[in-house]
Amino acid sequence: MAKLLATLEGHKDRVWCVSWNPQGNILASCSSDRSIRLYSKENDTWVCKITLSEAHSRTVRCIAWSPTGKSFASSSFDSTVNIWDGQDGEFETVATLEGHENEVKCVAWSASGSLLATCSRDKSVWVWEVEGDDEFECISVLPAHSQDVKRVVFHPESNILASCSYDNSMKIYREDGDDWIVSCTLTGHSSTVWCAAFNASGDRLISGSGDKTLRLWQRYEPGNAEGVVTENGEATWKCVCVLSGAHDGAVYDVAWCPLTGAIASACADDCIRIFTVVEVGP
């Protein structure tokens, strides 16, 4: 059972993304009105404490907090990513990441906070290293997709990255010395892959698509007990379940519950659905 606690107004156009800081006391939102708003609670009322409206010249598409909660990144249709620092209580832009040739659709931090990933309509994924003192260096450009890249998401424990694309596929990347490489390509969806999320332990991945399905992927290490074939000493991901028939539209977002392992999906048919994974014995 859910209860509406507050309606937060102020944006003047479509709100694309909301994100809680790790401490859970600040909610950030971004919009087509080119602004970012930061809300916090005063007594029993949520109020907008800060409006950031000067840094991006087009739609702000995504916000991602660093693991410490002291900073966040925003990606925009103006082809840039801004890094915002708020250690003194007032957020200001401390770095602007440039290089993408088109709209930056998503930004994500690694679990350690030492890496940042961005993806764009220019079909590429970029991996950035945080060098301290508000310095970020692009350490890898990954043009692995043939179409617009919609989402990037880091593994919860390791330096492993997944991307979702308009080309109906996902890519899994890993570190290889000083560079990043594609370790495998996940295919099976018949339309745009809009979203993906790792479970808390990182051995499963759920994806959502314009084909109205969810796909559950399992990671298998070389020499796994199940006998799943791997190549070149690399772990592989295999689709172990297709959830079809439950959605009447594209699936735009998915999330794992860290407590129960339940999966929530957000769909173009105006519904949110909750699934649980039922283990089937041999």
Residue 273 neighbours by CB distance under 10 Å = 15
**Closest-CA residue to 93 (of 33, 139, 49, 53):** 53
Angle formed at CA 119 by CA 137 and CA 181, multiple of 5 degrees: 70
Integer Cα distance of 21 and 84 in angstroms:
13
The percent of residues above 70 in pLDDT, for the chain, comes to 98
Our count of domains for the chain comes to 1
Strand 115-120 relative to strand 104-109, pairing: antiparallel
Has residue 136 been placed in a domain? yes
Per-residue CA distances from 75 to 3, 23, 61, 100, 108 (Å): 31, 22, 6, 11, 10
Has residue 31 been placed in a domain? yes
Q: Domain residues for 40?
A: 11-143
Has residue 78 been placed in a domain? yes
Has residue 85 been placed in a domain? yes
Has residue 171 been placed in a domain? no
Has residue 106 been placed in a domain? yes
Angle formed at CA 105 by CA 100 and CA 108, multiple of 5 degrees: 95
Has residue 195 been placed in a domain? no
CATH code at position 127: 2.130.10.10
Strand 149-154 relative to strand 160-165, pairing: antiparallel
- Residue 210 reports pLDDT greater than 90: yes
Has residue 221 been placed in a domain? no
What tokens appear for 87 in the block? Answer: 């250690």
- Tens-place pLDDT, residues 211-255: 999 999 999 988 888 888 888 778 899 999 999 998 999 999 999
At 269, is the secondary structure helix, strand, or coil?
coil
Over residues 48-59, mean pLDDT: 93
pLDDT band for position 121 (cuts 50, 70, 90) = very high
Residue 60 · residue 80 · CB < 8 Å:
no
pLDDT for residue 1 = 56
